[in-house]
């Protein structure tokens, strides 16, 4: 998600993991998957020095020529 946001995506689709969570544990599974995704984004932001989503910039991503 961090890469997509750094490249100025206005949204990031995460449908498949949500469906897996739903299939395994119903609504609780979906909540768990979404919490995992939030936690992973928080960690990635912390490691990149971003405290807010608006701090995510394209300079965080190296684009191959």
Per domain, the residue ranges of the chain are 1-7+15-58
Whole-angstrom CA distances from 60 to 19, 33, 37, 43, 56 are 30, 25, 19, 14, 7
pLDDT at 63: 86
pLDDT digits (tens, 9 = 90+) for 6-46: 999 999 999 999 999 999 999 999 999 999 999 999 999 99
Residue 65 has pLDDT above 90, yes or no: no
Contacts of 7 (CB under 8 A, 6+ apart): 58, 61
Rounded to two decimals, what is the model's pTM? 0.87
């Amino acid at each position: 998600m961090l890469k997509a946001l750094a490249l100025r995506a206005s949204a990031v689709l995460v449908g498949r993991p949500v469906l897996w969570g739903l299939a395994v544990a119903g609504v609780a599974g979906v909540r768990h998957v979404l919490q995992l995704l939030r936690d992973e984004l928080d960690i990635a932001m912390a490691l990149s020095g971003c405290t807010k989503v608006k701090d995510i910039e394209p300079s965080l991503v190296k684009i191959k020529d």
